[in-house]
Structures are given as structure tokens and as C-alpha cells.
Amino acid sequence: MRIYILIAILFFTSLGLAQSQANYDESKVPKFTLPDVLTSFSGNPITNQTEWEENRRREILQFFEKQVYGKVPDRLDEYGFKLLEESNDAYGGKARRKQIAITLKKNKKTITYYMLIYLPKGNPTAPVFLGYNFYGNHTVTADPNVAITKAWVKNNEAFGITDNKASESSRGIRTHRWAIEKMLDNGFGLATIYYGEIDPDKNDFSDGVHSLFYRDGQTKPKTNEWGSISAWAFGLSKAMNYLESDVNISKVFVFGHSRLGKAALWAGATDKRFAGVISNNSGCGGAALSRRQFGETVAQINTSFPHWFADSFLKYDNNERTLPVDQHQLLALIAPRPLYIASAEEDKWADPKGEFLSTYYASSVYGLYGRKGITSKEMPKTNAPIQNTVAYHIRTGIHDVMDYDWENYIKWANTFVK
């Protein structure tokens, strides 16, 4: 026990140290040239949708797949879902609730994860936001009928989580991050899953969805195979199998905050069934340009979270300029579907300017489809969203998800569901 506490203390102290030693000085951002999204790796200009989709999009996708997030090694043998619980009377009669178990099977091994869904009653087929939560479905709402996750969760004294087990004490502790009533009142539903049920967020590859795919004797993914972000994206994509089969659900906007904002972007890039993508404060390895080395860097993220990316990504530690891609190209993979990137003013570690510039440099691909992206390199003022097919805002405050964020996501998403 003591040794674990010691490791945890060392981990958080080193993370705090990394954050305090990071560069936050704009004048110290290295000079760099971004790889152009519309010029192929071999130097050919890309001028239309066909060339983009058949050549350039494919090569960028493959690069991110093998050299950044890591490839999903194979297909599943079986997929299944089961309705565990349902009510017509959630949120004071405003909403329908469903709790679904999703089971993935490979090599005779299975993993089950649980999706909580609220749908507005007045809308026979509602658009939904699909997003992972950090501590269990029971934390996003005070609703006493939501099942408590039995999976490993990170300890958190403030939430009463000890021994990596969730209990009643953490029910509703994250309601502020999920504006569920606002969603319902605007005709949207919410589907949410605890991310740790797909892959517990620790540097341990013996558990989670990775382990289903091992051959005899294998204990971790191969160098260019999936890290945790890719596994979480895979879980979202398999959740989509259920969502598209539900007659009460129309479009699905995949959403995520921070590390889960990185996973949402990768899910949107790899699965075109997501009608739109919203990535909140996703930072390094998410929306932020790696070459800026502002706040969290590739070397820092790979050191603090060695399990998030493919091992092949390690060669870009302190070596960002040799990356044939940057994160604006990840965003471009989502084109022409709606994409919303958001930052927070005090969240310097995530590099708000790098998150914004990414949306600007991805926008030429939206242009190929006649869609409006971000047209100026000038960052908008705080609390002054730009909402085109590519949208961006920076709000006051810290690294978090606030009502302000949801009000804007809902307003913007609404223009694509009419």
C-alpha cells in the first residue's frame, strides 16, 4: 500500500513540476513551418475533394494511426448490447432514461461497459451528445437510479473514492460538467460512458480492451498498435453501433474534455458515422499544435502518460519538428463534418493559442467542401465564440467543462440538426 502512495505522490509531484517548468512565454515559442494539410507527403498539391479523400486524407489517417495513437489490431469476433433498465420518468418526467450494457468479444474474452442515455420526451428522434465521463455514469447526475460503476476508478478523497472503488458518495459529484437539463430543454439527449470500463487509465496493459486482442504470451500492444486514447476512441465507435440502431436517436455529436477530448477527436477522425465532434480543452495530442511546444509537450505527455499513445510516438519526444503531421491535420480528418474546439483562458497547459491555430490551419479542407471554417489567424476575444462549420471559443476560467461551454455547443449543434 505504502509503495503505491509513494508512487502516486512522485507521479503528481513530477506532473506539477512539469507544469511549472513548461514554457508559457509566447516569445519563446520556436519558429516552425507547419506541414500543409493540402500538400501530400510527396509534395503534390491537393485541389479537390476526390484527391483529398482518396489520397491525402488516407495518408494522414494512416500516419496518425500507426505513429501517433496506434492501430486497433483486429476486428472483434462479436458485439452485443442489452437494455438493462429503462424509465419514462427521468428529470421530473422530462426525459426517458436507458441504461445499456455493451459487450465486446474477442478470442473468447469479453469486456462489458455501460452507457447511460437520457432522451428528451418531446422529441421522437433526438440528436445526442455522446461523451465519456471520468468517474462513472452515476457522477454526471443526481438521479438515484443510475448504476454505480464496478470498474477501477482513480482514487479521489474529495469524492470519497478509496481503494479504487466508486460508491454512493460520488453520486452527482460531476453534475456541473454536464448541462443535462439544458440539453433536454433544447431537444438534445445525452449518452455517457465511464471511460475506465473500456481501459482503466493507468500504465498497465494487462487489463481493458487491449487484453482481448493479445496472442498467446503477448502482454502489451506492439509498437504501432493502440494506446489508451485509441482504445477509448474504439469504445466510442462501438457505442455508435448501438446508437445508430436506436430509433429514438438521430445525429450523434461525439464530445470529450481534456484527455477525453483527445479521444473524441480521434473517434471523429476514424469513424465518419459521428455527425460532429466537440473537443473541450484537449491540449497536447488533441487540438493543440505540437510544434509550438507551449505548455504540455510531446515529451512531457509521453513521460507522464506512457500508455496514452502508441510506442511509435515516443520518437517525437523533443523532436516535434520531424513530425510529418501536426494536430491541425487531425482536425482536418473530420471535415466536412461540424467541429467545435474550445479553450479556457487559464488553461495555459493546454495551449489555447495552439488549439485555436489548429482550427485555422485545418479550415482549408472544409473549404474544399464549400464549408466555412475559421477564416482569420487572429484569435477571437474571450467569450466571443466563432461558430461556423468549424467553431471555436475561449472562455474565462479554468480547465473544466462549464455551462458556458454547453450553451454554446447546444446553440451551434442546433444549426446542424434542423
**Catalytic residue numbers, as ranges:** 258, 399
3-state secondary structure 361-398: HHHHHHHHCCCCCCCCCCCCCCCCCEECCEEEEEECCC
C-alpha cell at 365: 479542407
Q: Looking at beta carbons only, is 242 or 255 nearer to ligand GTR? A: 255
What's the min distance (Å) between Cβ of 14 and ligand GTR? 11
**249 vs 263, which CB is nearer to ligand GTR?**
263
- Smaller CB separation from ligand GTR, 184 or 301: 301
d(CA 200, CA 226): 14
Kindly tell me the burial class for residue 264, based on how many C-beta atoms sit within 10 Å of its own C-beta (0-12, 13-18, 19 or more): buried
Burial code of 329-363, b = ≥16 C-beta within 10 A, e = fewer? Answer: bbbbbbbbbbbbbbbbeebbbbbbbbbbbbbbbbb
C-alpha cell at position 265: 477527436
CB of residue 114 to ligand GTR, shortest distance in Å: 21
Question: 176: how many CB neighbours lie within 10 A of its CB?
Answer: 12
Binding site residues, ligand GTR, CB under 6 A? 15, 258-259, 283-284, 296, 301, 304
β-strand 339-344 against 390-395: which pairing, if any? parallel
Closest separation in Å from C-beta 384 to ligand GTR = 25
- Which among 418, 399, 416 has a CA at the least distance from the CA of 19? 399
Task: Considering the complex, state which of residue 8 and residue 384 has its C-beta at the smaller distance from ligand GTR.
Answer: 8
Phi and psi dihedrals of 84, rounded to 5?
-95, -30
Nearer to ligand GTR, 118 or 226 (CB): 226
Measured between alpha carbons, how far is 89 from 308 in angstroms, rounded to an integer?
39
Sheet order of strands, 189-194 included: 78-90, 95-106, 109-120, 189-194, 126-133, 249-257, 276-280, 339-344, 390-395, 386-387
CB of 298 to ligand GTR, least distance (A): 11
> Of the two residues 19 and 110, which places its CB atom closer to ligand GTR in the complex?
19
